[in-house]
Chains A and B, each alone.
Chain A
Amino acid sequence: MSNAHDDAARMGAVPHWEPEDVIGKMTLKTLLFSNDYRHIAIKGILTSVAMLGLGGLMAILFRTELAVPDVQFFGARPYMQLMTLHGMFMVFGFIIPFVISLNYYMMPKVLGTGRLLWAGAAQWSYWLLILAAVFLIIARPDFTWTFYPPMSLRVGGDYAFLGYMAVTLVAISEFLAGAVMFRNGWEAARRISWSKLPLMGWGAISEGILLMGSTPILGLVGIYMLTDWLEITAMFDPARGGSVMTFMFMFWFYGHPAVYLPLMPAIAVLYTLLPRFLGRPIWNYWSAVIAFSMLTVLGFIVYPHHFQPAENVSGWLQRTTQLLTLAIFIPSTLHVFNWIASLWEDRIPDSARRAVPFKFIVAAIFFLMLGGVTAYVNAQIATDSDFVHNTYFVPAHFHAMFVGFMANMAMAGAYYLYPYFTGRMYNQALANTHFWFWQIGIFSKVMLMYYLGFVYFPRWVVDYLPLSQWTMPQYMLTGAAYLIGLGFIVFVTNIMWSATRGRVAEADPWALSDDAVKSGTTAQPAE
């Protein structure tokens, strides 16, 4: 099909960027104010890495507390502050901005627009997120990242209102990012035609719809939390006539698409990088398009599964939710099938096997399957009403997804772009170390959490009963967390050291080559 060849020409053979020390030439002024898409993207990527560090530090701290039973270091409230900040910084501060920033960097060249349209909105989006982060650090709320009322209206102390305001700021920031994504995808589709739009464009449009469709309600939720807290309204507080279910339906209307917000751009990056490393287009273009579209639609209607064991979700609503939640595996399966088929259809160049981003892509696919297939158990009401709901089974699932797929993809994108904005290659040995530390750590962590969930380990507890089926896994889980933290430190060391002392990157750092054929020529697209 002609569009498949165009696809390959656009992504498989010709590099879009040239290595350049973009970051070295940035001044404080350009860092803060420049609307050049590369500066915005680099700013976003580096900030996200810092947020990953912050969220990760929170995790290391509470993991240390949880290593053995009994309360050692943290009171109940500080523990939950760590937990809340971990969740909020990781989701809002690290993973969503990271993958969106990768898209900001890549879209102009990949989609052919040459620049990032509405870069000003992207700039605002960034700064609003920073403000939200500042509010969160000052408030240090302890009400979990899903802040269910009325509990969240009654804990948190005097600065809780900053936490609610941070939520609204995040909503506005994400809305703006969604507008930027949509605008750029739409412009490219307009210019090129929908059937030739690179998959990154489809991803951008889907992401834009998800963001713009879901964030307004999050913004409203944040505002209502504030007015409820100030006792101006009583939307969510049953003691004053409100309803918790109102919150549930409103928040999770955002909350479920929220988990696809980092997923879509990560998938878009995958569709862009895989052909580059393989030297051939994706196995089936339209399958990917259908998958993007399906996920966008389904993503909005499965959210009651988050509060399914509450009374109100019963009867037809419960059954429909179960069916749709089960059905949402279909788009993800289409993606994975596509990727595995692309890998399998022809030789994998040795250059790909050596490339660290490629390794991260493979690991990401692995974890998407792991988290996705086990979600078959999460989705069913019967099992959800048994050992899944609010035990460690749930965080096991979303860590497999957020960390196993999305964080791995974020790293793949970061390592891929690294030579392009620093002009140098990262250190291969350190990068491999980072890779293996992470995959061992993430795999252990996810499997241990699934096991703990199966044996009913509760969420959000500073201390736990010294049951034998709980103590050893918790101890090992702490070890896994430390390993992941160590991997992060290796990553930061690598990117800092290599920026000034790494090997200067060649013209095409990701040139395809097979060790037998050592040619630098471009590969031919597959028939």
Chain B
Amino acid sequence: METALGLSGYQATMYIIVFVVLGLGIGALFLALFLPARWKLKHWMEFAFVGLLIVVVWYGDKRSAEIVSAYQGQMEQAGVLDQPAIDGAEGFDRELTVIAFQWGFAFLTDDDEISRNAAIVQPGETILFRIFSNDVIHGFNIPAAGITAEFDPGIERDVWIRAPEEPGRYLIQCLNYCGVGHAQMKAWLVVEGEEA
């Protein structure tokens, strides 16, 4: 799945790490319980095991930080995050202002066109969402793009995605409890084009 953060390869790696480590642990537990042969672990083994996990943790931190800073970097360079734009940096193909309220999303285009619960975009383009909340904490999640954010009223929260290539309608949902209408607070990300 194409995700905003570019996660697919990284995600797979993380899952494999989880399965391996978990497998080791559960395997050890079951062996300790059921293997007739007994094993007195040496103290250095604990250090070694923890050391190994520290390496794994270091790797996870490094990869995650790389991905996150690349993602934030896009916005920094385009001048979105409180710093002036860098010359020659790519801007975003489209900027949409999102107003989250109890209980729906309003999308504003640059031309002052407003639409309720529908954001219209072109396939594959980069879209910057400037998200504002009108009243309480809301969330903004686009499963197809693999991005989620939460934001408080009165501040601007910026996220960007690369729109899916495949035309169609994709779900946008609020992920923070925001009152009785929370479960119904959903919108469409509409990627224009001929649907296959």
Interface residues of A (CB under 8 A from B): 75-77, 80, 142-144, 148, 150-151, 154-155, 238-239, 243-245, 283-284, 287, 307, 309-311, 314, 318-319, 322-323, 326-327, 329-330, 333-334, 336-338, 340-341, 343-348, 362, 365-366, 369-370, 373-374, 376-377, 379-383, 385-387, 389-391, 455-456, 458-465
Flag if A387 contacts B146 (CB, 8 Å).
Answer: yes
Flag if A369 contacts B22 (CB, 8 Å).
Answer: yes
The interface residues of chain A lying within 8 Å CB-to-CB of B136 are: 148, 150-151, 154
Chain B residues 139-196 with CB under 8 Å of chain A are: 139, 141, 143, 146-158, 171, 173-184, 186
Please pick, from A154, A239, A245, A381, the residue contacting B68 in the complex, using a CB distance under 8 A. Answer: A381
Flag if A376 contacts B178 (CB, 8 Å).
Answer: no
Whether B11 sits at the interface, judged by CB under 8 Å, is yes
Q: Which residue of B lies closest to A311 (CB)?
A: B157
Q: Which residue of B lies closest to A323 (CB)?
A: B61
Flag if B10 contacts A77 (CB, 8 Å).
Answer: no
The interface residues of chain B lying within 8 Å CB-to-CB of A374 are: 18, 22
Interface residues of B (CB under 8 A from A): 3-5, 7, 10-11, 14-15, 17-18, 21-22, 25-26, 28-29, 31-33, 35, 38-41, 43, 46, 49-50, 53-54, 56-57, 60-61, 63-65, 67-68, 72, 135-137, 139, 141, 143, 146-158, 171, 173-184, 186
Flag if A465 contacts B171 (CB, 8 Å).
Answer: yes
Please pick, from A77, A311, A327, A334, the residue contacting B151 in the complex, using a CB distance under 8 A. Answer: A311
Docked Cα-Cα span, A309 to B72, in Å, equals: 12
Please pick, from B3, B46, B56, B154, the residue contacting A341 in the complex, using a CB distance under 8 A. Answer: B46
CB distance from B66 to the nearest CB of A (A): 8
Contact A458:B173 (CB < 8 A) given known A76-B181, A148-B137, A330-B54: yes
Docked Cα-Cα span, A501 to B10, in Å, equals: 58
Flag if B57 contacts A244 (CB, 8 Å).
Answer: no
CB distance from B52 to the nearest CB of A (A): 10
Q: Which 6 A-B pairs have the closest CB atoms?
A: A344-B32, A380-B64, A461-B183, A244-B152, A456-B143, A343-B32
Please pick, from A144, A310, A318, the residue contacting B157 in the complex, using a CB distance under 8 A. Answer: A310
CB distance from A7 to the nearest CB of B (A): 16
New contact pairs (7) apart from A151-B177, A284-B43, A311-B151, CB-CB < 8 Å? A77-B180, A314-B72, A330-B54, A340-B29, A370-B22, A387-B146, A389-B148
Please pick, from B54, B151, B171, the residue contacting A310 in the complex, using a CB distance under 8 A. Answer: B151
The interface residues of chain A lying within 8 Å CB-to-CB of B177 are: 80, 143-144, 148, 151, 459-460
Flag if B182 contacts A460 (CB, 8 Å).
Answer: yes
Flag if B32 contacts A373 (CB, 8 Å).
Answer: no
Docked Cα-Cα span, A161 to B149, in Å, equals: 30
The interface residues of chain B lying within 8 Å CB-to-CB of A373 are: 18, 21-22, 25
Flag if B50 contacts A333 (CB, 8 Å).
Answer: yes
Docked Cα-Cα span, A362 to B60, in Å, equals: 29
Q: Which residue of A lies closest to B183 (CB)?
A: A461
Q: Which residue of B lies closest to A331 (CB)?
A: B50
Docked Cα-Cα span, A77 to B184, in Å, equals: 13
Docked Cα-Cα span, A151 to B139, in Å, equals: 13
Flag if B46 contacts A337 (CB, 8 Å).
Answer: yes
Docked Cα-Cα span, A306 to B7, in Å, equals: 21
Number of A-B contacts (CB under 8 A): 210
Flag if A344 contacts B148 (CB, 8 Å).
Answer: no
CB distance from B91 to the nearest CB of A (A): 20
The interface residues of chain B lying within 8 Å CB-to-CB of A318 are: 68
Contact A366:B152 (CB < 8 A) given known A76-B183, A382-B68, A386-B5: no
Q: Which residue of A lies closest to B6 (CB)?
A: A382
Please pick, from B33, B148, B158, the residue contacting A385 in the complex, using a CB distance under 8 A. Answer: B148
Flag if B183 contacts A464 (CB, 8 Å).
Answer: yes
The interface residues of chain A lying within 8 Å CB-to-CB of B46 are: 284, 287, 334, 337-338, 341
The interface residues of chain A lying within 8 Å CB-to-CB of B151 are: 310-311
The interface residues of chain B lying within 8 Å CB-to-CB of A144 are: 177
The interface residues of chain A lying within 8 Å CB-to-CB of B32 are: 340-341, 343-344
Contact A238:B152 (CB < 8 A) given known A150-B136, A244-B137: yes
Docked Cα-Cα span, A309 to B157, in Å, equals: 10
Docked Cα-Cα span, A336 to B32, in Å, equals: 12
Docked Cα-Cα span, A307 to B32, in Å, equals: 39
The interface residues of chain A lying within 8 Å CB-to-CB of B152 are: 238, 243-245, 310
Q: Which residue of A lies closest to B30 (CB)?
A: A366
Flag if B179 contacts A151 (CB, 8 Å).
Answer: yes
Flag if A381 contacts B65 (CB, 8 Å).
Answer: yes
24 A-B pairs in the complex with CB atoms less than 8 angstroms apart: A143-B177, A151-B177, A151-B178, A238-B154, A284-B43, A309-B150, A311-B156, A311-B158, A330-B54, A337-B46, A341-B46, A344-B41, A362-B29, A377-B14, A377-B15, A380-B14, A380-B64, A381-B65, A383-B64, A386-B4, A386-B148, A458-B173, A458-B183, A463-B184
Contact A150:B147 (CB < 8 A) given known A238-B153, A343-B32: no
The interface residues of chain A lying within 8 Å CB-to-CB of B29 are: 340, 343, 362, 365-366, 369
B67, B143, B148, B186: most-surrounded residue (chain A CB, <10 A): B148
The interface residues of chain A lying within 8 Å CB-to-CB of B10 are: 382
Flag if A390 contacts B65 (CB, 8 Å).
Answer: no
The interface residues of chain B lying within 8 Å CB-to-CB of A151 are: 136-137, 177-179
Please pick, from B67, B150, B158, B186, the residue contacting A390 in the complex, using a CB distance under 8 A. Answer: B150
Please pick, from A287, A382, A391, the residue contacting B63 in the complex, using a CB distance under 8 A. Answer: A382
Docked Cα-Cα span, A143 to B53, in Å, equals: 38
CB distance from B103 to the nearest CB of A (A): 10
Docked Cα-Cα span, A358 to B172, in Å, equals: 47
Docked Cα-Cα span, A341 to B184, in Å, equals: 50
Q: Which residue of A lies closest to B67 (CB)?
A: A382
Q: Which residue of A lies closest to B148 (CB)?
A: A389
Flag if B68 contacts A345 (CB, 8 Å).
Answer: no
The interface residues of chain A lying within 8 Å CB-to-CB of B43 are: 284
The interface residues of chain A lying within 8 Å CB-to-CB of B57 are: 326-327, 329, 376
Docked Cα-Cα span, A382 to B12, in Å, equals: 13
Flag if A383 contacts B148 (CB, 8 Å).
Answer: no
CB distance from B70 to the nearest CB of A (A): 10
Docked Cα-Cα span, A379 to B64, in Å, equals: 10
Docked Cα-Cα span, A80 to B180, in Å, equals: 8
The interface residues of chain B lying within 8 Å CB-to-CB of A348 are: 33
Docked Cα-Cα span, A464 to B186, in Å, equals: 10
Contact A463:B183 (CB < 8 A) given known A337-B46, A344-B39: yes
Flag if A461 contacts B182 (CB, 8 Å).
Answer: yes
Docked Cα-Cα span, A389 to B137, in Å, equals: 14
A376, A377, A391: most-surrounded residue (chain B CB, <10 A): A376
